[in-house]
Structure 1
Amino acid sequence: MFDYSTNHSDRVNGMQLLQEHMAPSALYDSSERFDPPKCDEDTRTGLLEELWGWVENPSTVDRMVCITGPAGSGKSALQQTTVEEAAEHNHLLAAFFFSSGDARRNHPGGFVATLAYQVSQNIGETREPMIQAIERDPRIFERSRETQARTLIVLPIRKALALSNASPSSWPSNIFIDGVDECRNEEDQSHLLRILQSLAISERGHLKQSGLLYHIELSNYDATSDIRLYLRRKLHDIGCNSEYARTPTGPWPPSKDIDTLVDNASGQFIYASTIVKFLSDRRRNPFKHLQLVLTWAPGTNRREQPFASLDALYASIFLAAQEAYAKSRDTEDDLVIVRSIRMFQLLAKHSIKPHVSSMEEILSLDGGEIQIIMSDLHSIVKSWGNQAGRLSLTFHHKSIEDFLQDPKRSRKLFISDVEVALIWLEICVRVVKSADDSVIQGLSARSNDWDNCHWTLFSPLNIYMTSLETVLFEGTDVQINQAGLLLKSATFWTHFTTSCKFVSARDMNWGMLMSRNMKSLVNKARSLGLSGSDPNWTGILTSIEKWRDMVNKLHEDEWRPSSEHFRLMGK
């Protein structure tokens, strides 16, 4: 707490109070942001020229620039490079760099004070009216941020403009904000954007008047050539400065290795910079460790972790999304976001694309819940639904999948493929067991005529197969026994086989595909000795084989479906 005594012998020092409420680590040149990310020489030249054109043109109609893109696409590097250039040419009015990992700049508490301090330094004429405003109202920093912005930035600039010797054409006019999405609270993020808008449309003088938003989406820019240049230059320098001998001798890095790294980067600069940082450690042999990077695969048991900084980024995104979801839903389940992503991954892996609405019903979610789950993952998830309303998960970068599938990388966020498959098996059994007779019989109609309830039943028929395959081929004995316990329900098998009969009679290709998959599963189960050692699996395998024989008879046109064949056992 600050003592704002009105004792005349101890006058409040306005500048001191301003500095006490700012966030020094948010400054572009703060010593606490040592070696911030920047664009390497001769890279991102087109984008930097585009941004610089905006910086140098005070009369442009686009009064606000917004840079968006996936995590690791280079947004902060572009911002830092542009800010440093703007400062060098007297175009920088103020800048603020948010960071979720810094308690002083992962919230907007010191935001206005930090901008105001820089305004006072870069436009000297604003300093006195700003200090006077603080000394008149020492509790200004407890007021709304809109009031702070107006009192400490807008009004001092207006007073400076009113001076007879004012020369605004020589004043800087650009404010840069980096990482708004790293401000922890979504309401605070929205609040910040409103403050920035109010500054941009200030109706008089030096701050820019209303205009259009200029949007730069980094996904629309091909960074391949820049990444190639960056990797070639950086790795060459590392090789030249290394004390380790290269065997065999020759140009390093080889072009084929650069090609592999560029391909793995998939346009994401953070992948390339992570590799460079890993190989730059003087304690490591760069020639040997480059091969480690090139041959790394999920689950590799190695002491070295080349993607540690990348993993930290992904973990922070998932944890922040989980925190926001838990807060909005009042849940203590600290893996619900990652678990959902892993479950959707299994579907995408096997090209299962259920309707989003039916998936929400299968998972017992409220309508629109999947969108809420995905809302804070936009920086790593490229898309989760297609135009037809089907669930289809794709990531911006393959390394996200690798991260989730490797326990050494994702650590406490790790959920194995088999755990995911067991979750799906339990859900499939529940949905199929509870299906109404009319819904099951409705599967005989064309899929175009199905209602959501039919898709809700049809999807588990497919998911069941892939989940059971995962457990049998990858699970431990304990996990396989768990699956056996889940699948021993007679009601489930009655509903499952009858549902499959209807679909197979209508779509023979689907039926034969299921039959082949069933055969593979039966063979695997028998090779594990399940048929003779586990009574649960004995019944399950018998049921699977009977179902497979039924499909084969359908294919031979020896079996004629009729309503009598589909009478359902009571629950």
Structure 2
Amino acid sequence: MLRLDGDRPVRLQTQGPGNIVHIEGDRPVQFQNSTFNNVAGNMNVSHTTNVGESGFGILYRAVSLDAMHDSAERPADPACHPGTRSAILYQLGKWSFEQPSDCPILWLHGCAGIGKSAIGQQFAASCHDRGQLGGSFFFKRGSVSCGTWRNLLPTLAYQLTVAFPQLGPRIQRAVETDRLILGKTIHHQLEKLLVQPFRNAPPLAFSASRPILVIDGLDECEDRGTQTALIRALIDVLRSGDAPIHILVCSRSEAHLSEAFKAPENSDVCRDLQVLPDDRALADIRRYFTDEFSRIRRIHNSRGMLLEDCWPGSKTIEDLVKKSSGTFIYASTVLRYVDDEYSHPAERLDAVLGLDPGSLSPLDDLYTQILSSIPSKPILLRVLHAVVKVYFGAEQIDSVLRMRQGTSRAVLRGLHAVVRVHPAPILPVGHHKPVELLHASFGDFLMDPQRSLSFCISGEDLLDTLVHDMAHVLLSGSLEPNDFG
């Protein structure tokens, strides 16, 4: 409960940037830079300052840095390998210079692991280099900051104010006019933060360089209803032509997304481009394997592991290209698995080549091989379940599962091909960056008992154990309620 200077108790509910308090039966009240005293579970607001915070400041606090294409928090290798994807990147570049009225929304879609995010990343970087990128947002399933639409529009609007200064004052004014805007609907935010600033800008301000927005991983945003609502809102606000922008949306070829983007009534606003596992994709993957194996050979030779100049050989590369079925996720996972600092790459590659050559699910076989290399299976499953279900850092997972500190890091170190574990914070009270799955397909694999078999983490027993452990830690006071997201 929250008490306002000793007055009646109210129910605390935050919205938008996290400083809007709703009083049941009354209007919202905003507290900024306030001092809160917590006595026996009751909170008292004793002081508030800076009520006139700038619109730019409100946007800044709602920005998801992790979601931007050039964020240091994004994986190190999401962009296209040099010399690959040239044909599809050419098509995207050509579309970006078309008149905004000619299908301003382009839906880039394809199967899981085909390389959509890498293409979106490369395209965003290219647009940025030529001064055309208005903003980017890469959704990530389960992420607190990148898994919901609520951070999307503030993040894009903030980037637009930086990339196109002529929009800055107009966007800032829109926020200051309605300080609760970040808690309102998708359509309302789009209209106020994107459309109106363009509508009020000088007529020729964007004649030479039209802003491009890149939204990747739409299928990883919350739920299907939210995804569809976002598409409809984008279509509605761009149909008027008041905002001279292009928006690239990348996602899997999900049925509900296809229905929205490809609806006949939306053909004046939307166009689609499918990424296919065709011969051109296979050629790109062949080049990727060749270049990366050369790099691995050079690095490991410098460490005293002598690999022949012809290693691993053209036949081996062709076998791997065939197994990839045109998906980059298979190739990148193989290369990360082979390129292990503490293992011999030839032995790792032999393990991959020893998997069933006739399998119809080579990526699942690879995931199983990687998981099988971890010695303690029961602990592995508990840690992976916590990674997928709770967005925590390794040290927090140890606390929740009541394990010796360092256990999660020891288990996850052998999974560097499929997960990303950030360094531990320097201070005990430092920010714990969550363990991340490098690709959503690994999470799909772990949750599907028909695919992951004994490594499946969707069982009720694991869920019951996790809930029990979380409740125990919460009651003990070692973690705060907000830590559970």
Question: Which of the five TM-score ranges fits, normalised by the shorter chain?
Answer: 0.5 to 0.7
CA displacement, residues 200-236 of structure 1 (integer Å, 9 cap, x when unaligned): 3233352469835321212363311111111011001
Q: Is the 8 A contact 2:195 2:242 kept in 1?
A: no
**Is residue 232 of structure 1 aligned with residue 290 of structure 2?**
yes
Q: Is the 8 A contact 1:74 1:270 kept in 2?
A: yes
- The aligned length equals 330
Structure with more strand by fraction: 2
Of residues 429, 440, 449 in structure 2, which corresponds to 1:313? 440
CA 154–205 in structure 1, closer or farther in 2 if over 3 Å, else same:
closer
Q: State TM-score, norm by structure 1.
A: 0.53
Of residues 260, 278, 293 in structure 2, which corresponds to 1:221? 278
Aligned counterparts of 2:31 and 2:82: Cα–Cα separation in 1: 53
**Is residue 274 of structure 1 aligned with residue 322 of structure 2?**
no
Aligned counterparts of 1:246 and 1:411: Cα–Cα separation in 2: 36
> How far off its partner does 1:66 sit?
0.8
> How far off its partner does 1:198 sit?
2.7
Tell me the SS of whatever aligns to 2:341: coil
> How far off its partner does 1:65 sit?
1.1
> How far off its partner does 1:10 sit?
4.3
Amino acid in the other structure paired with 1:317: D
Of residues 182, 186, 208 in structure 1, which corresponds to 2:220? 182
Q: Is the 8 A contact 2:100 2:244 kept in 1?
A: no
Tell me what 1:293 maps to.
Answer: 352
Q: Is the 8 A contact 2:296 2:339 kept in 1?
A: yes
Tell me what 1:201 maps to.
Answer: 239
Aligned counterparts of 1:314 and 1:413: Cα–Cα separation in 2: 15
CA displacement, residues 83-138 of structure 1 (integer Å, 9 cap, x when unaligned): 00011011211211100042111111111111111121122122112212222221
> How far off its partner does 1:286 sit?
1.2
Q: Is the 8 A contact 2:101 2:269 kept in 1?
A: no
> How far off its partner does 1:314 sit?
3.3
Q: State TM-score, norm by structure 2.
A: 0.62
Amino acid in the other structure paired with 1:67: L
Aligned counterparts of 1:233 and 1:220: Cα–Cα separation in 2: 20
Bigger mean CA deviation after superposition, 247-256 or 208-217: 208-217
Aligned counterparts of 2:145 and 2:269: Cα–Cα separation in 1: 32
Which of 1 and 2 has higher RCO (CA within 8 Å, sep 6+)?
Answer: 2
Tell me what 2:199 maps to.
Answer: 158
| The structure with more radius of gyration | 1
Q: Is the 8 A contact 2:100 2:241 kept in 1?
A: no
Q: How does 1:71-220 map to 2 (within 5 A)?
A: 71-161=112-202, 166-204=204-242, 206-207=244-245, 211-219=268-276
| RMSD across aligned positions (CA) | 3.1
CA 305–268 in structure 1, closer or farther in 2 if over 3 Å, else same:
same
Q: How does 1:163-562 map to 2 (within 5 A)?
A: 166-204=204-242, 206-207=244-245, 211-219=268-276, 221-222=278-279, 223-242=281-300, 243=302, 249-297=308-356, 302-303=373-374, 308=418, 313-317=440-444, 338=448, 342=450, 403-405=451-453, 407=454, 410-413=455-458
Q: Is the 8 A contact 2:297 2:307 kept in 1?
A: no
CA 95–307 in structure 1, closer or farther in 2 if over 3 Å, else same:
closer
> How far off its partner does 1:60 sit?
7.1
CA displacement, residues 243-300 of structure 1 (integer Å, 9 cap, x when unaligned): 4556674411211111111111111110001111122222221122211211135577
Q: Is the 8 A contact 2:194 2:243 kept in 1?
A: no
Amino acid in the other structure paired with 1:404: S
Aligned counterparts of 1:212 and 1:276: Cα–Cα separation in 2: 40
Aligned counterparts of 2:309 and 2:444: Cα–Cα separation in 1: 41
> How far off its partner does 1:16 sit?
0.6
Q: Is the 8 A contact 1:63 1:210 kept in 2?
A: no
Q: Is the 8 A contact 1:232 1:253 kept in 2?
A: no
Tell me what 2:395 maps to.
Answer: none
Structure with more helix by fraction: 1
Amino acid in the other structure paired with 2:441: Y
Aligned counterparts of 2:102 and 2:354: Cα–Cα separation in 1: 50
Q: Is the 8 A contact 1:43 1:226 kept in 2?
A: yes
Q: Is the 8 A contact 1:274 1:307 kept in 2?
A: yes
Gaps of 5+ in 2: 1-18, 21-28, 33-47, 247-265, 357-364, 375-413, 420-436, 460-485
Of residues 37, 52, 56 in structure 2, which corresponds to 1:15? 56
> How far off its partner does 1:36 sit?
4.6
Q: Percent identity?
A: 26
Aligned counterparts of 1:302 and 1:31: Cα–Cα separation in 2: 30
Aligned counterparts of 1:228 and 1:8: Cα–Cα separation in 2: 60
> How far off its partner does 1:412 sit?
2.6
Aligned counterparts of 1:259 and 1:210: Cα–Cα separation in 2: 40
